[in-house]
Structure 1
């Protein structure tokens, strides 16, 4: 039986690609590893930020939707993203950094058993830095030496992801019974599940909350992608999803990885994505994220696509 090895990436909506580009590169110190377009709607940017090569588990991705309104927060949504930093001293560093850049943030507190610093980007996307406390991280994660943040405090990759739903039990059963996640803790209204026992790089916190469903807008989270090694594993999971009674998209070739998408019974959109080929499929490591990269099936439309995209680099 195959297992899920952690988070792959997480995708959000932005109204303003230039401001998004500035914040995630200059303030958070992440590398823009791919500047491309939404393959289903190439009139909009699709930006990826991560480590040196945008390794699986480090990727934050954004679709630009210039007409997006504000998010109306509610339940049945992915509500918060955790990002791992090396130490408690790193949280102190980041608190000062957020103050200097006028980033909205709280005090250092705790979340899911870890020291945490909650913050938001300029569009209200809720995130938190989590103290990894020297614990193991996936071996494929690589430091980006040219970050605006010194290496000892750099964001390592994705940690705990929070999902808020009306029906905790149904999502819990999907994670546990279908994907083999381990239950780390449980109460009537909150549960923690880990794809790799004891590790936060594949951890999901489920919170149960009644009320209206979230209405997405700028700063909302579109979907969470979880990680598998290759297409053989993805085909296995395609059958598992089908047997569970969920409707999936079937396998979609995203050029940089293979994927399938499905919604669980609360309406949360999950993607299952392969590790490879990765973002170096059409770029050297040195040139990642600098030019507009298009998958081969869109290359013949390059002139049209570029004409409809506004520059995002100052």
Structure 2
């Protein structure tokens, strides 16, 4: 098996109110709520996972909703600043009407790299885009009563990183991850991996004078890239360690195994395995219905549940 990065695995962001976050992504945006667990480093805080029916890599958006008192983040250099979702062609009008009905802040549609897109903000100020991809996206969307297959999100299209200088970050993408520069529009450089068809794009925006961003409420915490299994994960650990980027040891995240490092531009990257998946502790039909805790916290379940707000 080749040692390949298979595009985006998941993206993790920070939110304020848990119930507001749950309602926006599961009800207004129509993603499937696939896992309700806790922050493994702070079990008094939820960790929410949203995705497609099965929680396939390339569709998983996760949140740490730290509560209403959390400091607001600030967009800037050294961070991921836009999350792009793939949607069917001709669906943006549906989304505009839906956003107006639910008082979602959005901009009028525009075009970049030959693709029509719609920018909007979630309730905490996180910037997202719905993009009518010019490449075929055959992924099966999660359908709800309000949002049918012909307009529903299919999973990630791209992630955008804002940097003062893209050179070192681009080298990680091309020399380590196997991405290729496929297009450029002004100061936006588009990289994609040929290893996978979807969730394959990273855009680097170069802003030399942009001040550093602050990761807090309404901002992306980290971007995770996908590998097939633990063996390939550890191959990449060896490569990254050789570069002196301070990579972690392998960490068990219950539903995947991970390692973390900061790429030279300052963005926190994760590499995560496909295994063991989200049905390890719930059936496919019951994903997201119960609070799932890692074994080390089970003895504290009652205390943890008392700290967490009810969301549904």
Separation in 1, partners of 2:286, 2:188: 43
More divergent stretch after superposition (257-266 vs 62-71): 62-71
8 Å contact from structure 1 (residues 223, 268) kept in 2: yes
Separation in 2, partners of 1:252, 1:148: 38
The residue number in structure 2 matching 1:76 is 78
Question: How many positions carry a matched residue from both structures?
Answer: 309
1:290 to partner: Cα distance:
1.0
Distance 1:279 1:307, change over 3 A: same
8 Å contact from structure 2 (residues 58, 198) kept in 1: no
Distance 1:149 1:305, change over 3 A: same
2:91 pairs with 1:93: no
Separation in 2, partners of 1:129, 1:57: 15
Q: Which SS does the other structure have where 1:107 is aligned?
A: coil
Q: Tell me the C-alpha RMSD between the 2 structures.
A: 1.7
The residue number in structure 2 matching 1:9 is 10
Separation in 1, partners of 2:166, 2:192: 15
The residue number in structure 2 matching 1:263 is 262
In the TM superposition, what whole-angstrom CA distance separates every residue of 1:63-103 from its partner, at most 9, and x where no partner exists?
A: 0112311122221110000000111x211111111111111
The residue number in structure 2 matching 1:213 is 212
More divergent stretch after superposition (177-186 vs 115-124): 177-186
1:203 to partner: Cα distance:
0.3
In the TM superposition, what whole-angstrom CA distance separates every residue of 1:49-69 from its partner, at most 9, and x where no partner exists?
A: 010021111011000112311
2:51 pairs with 1:33: no
The residue number in structure 1 matching 2:229 is 230
What's the TM-score, normalizing by structure 1?
0.94
What's the TM-score, normalizing by structure 2?
0.94
1:244 to partner: Cα distance:
1.7
8 Å contact from structure 1 (residues 86, 133) kept in 2: no
2:202 pairs with 1:204: yes
8 Å contact from structure 1 (residues 168, 189) kept in 2: no
Q: Describe how 1:1-314 pairs up with structure 2 within 5 A.
A: 1-66=2-67, 67-87=69-89, 89-133=90-134, 135-137=136-138, 141-146=139-144, 148-186=146-184, 189-196=187-194, 199=197, 201-209=199-207, 210-313=209-312
1:113 to partner: Cα distance:
2.8
Q: Which SS does the other structure have where 2:70 is aligned?
A: coil
Separation in 2, partners of 1:57, 1:69: 29
1:211 to partner: Cα distance:
2.6
In the TM superposition, what whole-angstrom CA distance separates every residue of 1:141-191 from its partner, at most 9, and x where no partner exists?
A: 544344531111110001111100112101001101111111102477331
1:199 to partner: Cα distance:
4.4
Where do 4+ consecutive residues of structure 1 move more than 6 Å?
Answer: none
8 Å contact from structure 2 (residues 13, 64) kept in 1: yes
8 Å contact from structure 2 (residues 157, 201) kept in 1: yes
Separation in 1, partners of 2:145, 2:45: 26
Distance 1:198 1:61, change over 3 A: closer
Separation in 1, partners of 2:311, 2:187: 42
Q: Which SS does the other structure have where 1:119 is aligned?
A: strand
Unpaired stretches in structure 1, ≥5 consecutive residues: none
Separation in 1, partners of 2:113, 2:134: 14
Unpaired stretches in structure 2, ≥5 consecutive residues: none
Separation in 2, partners of 1:148, 1:134: 26
